[in-house]
Amino acid sequence: MARFKEWDTSAVYSYANQWIEKSLMDGSSLLWPSEEIWTTDNLNAFRACFIDNTDESAEAFETKLKGQLSGQKSEVVQLACELVYLYLLFPSSISYRRKKELLKTIASFANLLLDDQNNALTALEHGIGGPGIAYNTRRYNEIRYIAIFADTVLQMSEEERKELAADHLKVRGLLDKLKEEGNPLSRHILLHLFYPDQYERMASASHKQQIVEAFLDMLDEDSIPVDVDERILAIRKQLSDILCEPDLDFYRSPLMECWDYGDHETDVLPIQGLEIKKQIVIYGPPGTGKTHEAKELAERFIRQETLRQWGAGKFFKNQNNIDELVQQRVRRVQFHPGYGYEDFIRGMQLEQNRTVYKNGVFLQVLEDVKAAENGIGKGLPFVFILDEMNRADLSRVLGECFSLLEDRESEVLLAGQDGNSFSLAVPDNLYIIGTMNLIDQSLEQVDFALRRRFLWFFRGFEREDLISLVKTKWERWPQKYGKPRQWSRVEEEFEVLADRCVRINTLIANHELMGPLYVIGHTYFSDVVSFAQKYIYSQPGVQQVLWNRKGQGRGPISGLWNYSLAPLLEQYLSGADAYERKLLMQQAKDIFLKGQE
């Protein structure tokens, strides 16, 4: 079963079930149970004012919706409120406070009230999954999709509606038929909410595809279902038998590490690029988590390949051995301006107060790969991480081994000590992940010969990555600061922070003196967590931590600006005209500390 069980989510599934089996049958409301609002007339009115009258301004969603609903009867406002309610039923990434605030605001357009004790409203407290940042940015399309689905159902006869609700395949077929360009996430969400025993609690089609790719070998080739959801259901049944766990969760260990490679909107994921080319580079501005991603990618790639080669039975029965095996097969070296051929390949090195001729890091890794062929992990991959590649002279570091990165079937002859030489080749099961900061060396300066030997994946600032990072850091509350303050009490303030980080990075990306390569990475902004926790410890009764009631930055925000962000921007603008530098610094400060344009 794919139902979420970490906390009581029965109300979530109950109200989703009520909507398809009751509201779409007799028109009854979820939030106002005694009233009938789900009618074709109300949906036609909503279509005219919302779907056919899009508002693409930069105003807040509530402001735009108020204008669109202006002049509509109360039943249409109630319908709009319940469409937003259905949109909010799944996500755990939106706070309960924000959900209630949004629904109450919409209800107020028709002078309607929503009681905090309303059972339907309290069902929104936790949510059951994180649909990703795209769910927020595509809010209009998601609500539109739900509305069109409801309208299509209500136009059916009563008998057709009953048959539809009782058959998940018919509902899936209708949802797929209504899909338009953009692949609405609500397609996956509604299927899970209605039929949690058949569909995973996932909003992402790419996540489903990643699961299928990771575990497809478990299924009999002659009976593999065509539909991706049916494939996952078949995989779930196999894994449940192997792990003796009927309620397993693909978003939890030990399954997540085998397939989850991130939410980046790309045609090819980095892990797929690693399979295709064996060598990739993750590049972008500083502080965007490239090294962290490289480490996680290396470990998950090894786990996936081990799963493929060993099969699920052997893989999951040897979890302790696999954890150790993964650690042994990841190597990492950090380049710097003084790093040379003798460090990476071989040459004279200082060892115990004497100079000796010895192998460098690369040759040591090749020796480890060769030695491992006699152990339990024969044939499994090694991953070599070249961190901050741009900081070294790569042509000098790699020397004659440069060609081996492109042609692994060839060998090169290396000069040895005392005139002895030996041949060298790169084994097929060695994979390379590089990281590169483009502020230090622009992509235009990268040697074309180096370019063609790697696939390149850009990483910039991501709002969702920032929220995830600060939440993780917040929940690691230092013992020296006493009793921790719950994340839910500060979540809204960090949402405001994330919005301002987006705005300051938009300013940087659009500025002619900097551009997209100079945006500030989320790791820089995440330092505010330490400022905030210390601030709470020194002022235990404080309610607002990051912002005052006027939305201006308090101590943690001004501290982050003064000691981290401002010095960084000053460095970026060191070559700019003094007036230009002062103007941009003031703009950035006003955006970050005051929320001004």
Residue (of 70, 185, 182) closest to 136 by Cα position: 185
**3-state DSSP call for residue 275?**
helix
In whole angstroms, what is the distance from residue 388 CA to residue 543 CA?
41
CB 289 within 8 A of CB 459: yes
Mean pLDDT over 267-279 rounds to 87
Superfamily of domain 270-458: P-loop containing nucleotide triphosphate hydrolases (3.40.50.300)
Both tokens of 302, joined, read: 């090894």
* pLDDT score at 442: 46
Number of H helices, E strands in the chain: 30, 9
Find the length of the chain.
597
* CB neighbour list of residue 384: distance below 8 Å, 6 or more residues apart: 331, 332, 333, 362, 365, 430, 431, 432, 433
Q: At what angle do helices 96-108 and 491-509 cross, to 10 degrees?
A: 80
* pLDDT score at 145: 95
Task: Quickly tell me which residue has 């000053």 as its tokens.
Answer: 570
Mean pLDDT over 321-332 rounds to 90
- 70 versus 447: the higher-pLDDT residue is 70
* pLDDT score at 98: 85
Dmax of the chain from CA atoms?
A: 94
Residue (of 238, 242, 260) closest to 251 by Cα position: 260
Mean pLDDT over 366-391 rounds to 87
Sign of CA dihedral 232, 238, 243, 247: positive
- pTM listed for this prediction: 0.79
In whole angstroms, what is the distance from residue 205 CA to residue 202 CA?
8
* CB neighbour list of residue 11: distance below 8 Å, 6 or more residues apart: 119, 122, 123
In whole angstroms, what is the distance from residue 426 CA to residue 428 CA?
7
In whole angstroms, what is the distance from residue 192 CA to residue 186 CA?
10
In whole angstroms, what is the distance from residue 29 CA to residue 286 CA?
50
Range 342-375 burial, b when 16+ CB lie within 10 A, else e: bbbbbbeeeeeeeeeeebbbbbebbeebeebeee
Residue 374 pLDDT grade (very low, low, confident, very high; cuts 50, 70, 90)? confident
* pLDDT score at 421: 55
Among 74-88, 136-150, 175-189, 442-456, where is mean pLDDT lowest? 442-456
Other residues' Cβ atoms within 10 Å of the Cβ of residue 130: 20
Secondary structure E strands in 230-287: 279-284
What single-letter amino acid sits at 443?
A: L
Mean pLDDT over 421-443 rounds to 77
- 138 versus 167: the higher-pLDDT residue is 167
CA angle 530, 535, 539 (to 5 degrees): 155
In whole angstroms, what is the distance from residue 378 CA to residue 372 CA?
6
Instruction: Supply the DSSP string of 428-476, one letter for each residue.
Output: TTEEEEEEEETTTS-GGGS-HHHHTTSEEEE----HHHHHHHHHHHHTS
CA angle 212, 218, 222 (to 5 degrees): 95
* pLDDT score at 201: 92
CB 275 within 8 A of CB 281: no
First to last CA, the chain: 49
Both tokens of 204, joined, read: 């992402």
Pairing assessment for the beta strands 382-387 and 421-424 based on DSSP bridges: unpaired
* pLDDT score at 413: 72
Please state the domain extents for the chain: 10-194, 205-256, 270-458, 463-594
* pLDDT score at 182: 66
In the chain, % of residues over pLDDT 90: 48
Among 90-104, 281-295, 435-449, 545-559, where is mean pLDDT lowest? 435-449
Tell me what the pLDDT averaged over the chain comes to. Answer: 87
Other residues' Cβ atoms within 10 Å of the Cβ of residue 222: 5
- Inform me whether the pLDDT recorded for 422 exceeds 70: no
* pLDDT score at 78: 96
Residue (of 266, 246, 166, 251) closest to 203 by Cα position: 251
CA angle 273, 278, 281 (to 5 degrees): 65
Mean pLDDT over 181-200 rounds to 90
* pLDDT score at 86: 96
Residue (of 140, 138, 136) closest to 53 by Cα position: 140
- Inform me whether the pLDDT recorded for 575 exceeds 90: no
Mean pLDDT over 488-502 rounds to 90
* pLDDT score at 443: 46
Instruction: Supply the DSSP string of 388-406, one letter for each residue.
Output: TGGGS-HHHHHGGGGGGGT
State yes or no: cis peptide before 254, omega within 30 of 0: yes
In whole angstroms, what is the distance from residue 359 CA to residue 349 CA?
9
- Inform me whether the pLDDT recorded for 263 exceeds 70: no
* pLDDT score at 447: 66
Other residues' Cβ atoms within 10 Å of the Cβ of residue 563: 11
CB 429 within 8 A of CB 305: no
- Inform me whether the pLDDT recorded for 237 exceeds 80: yes
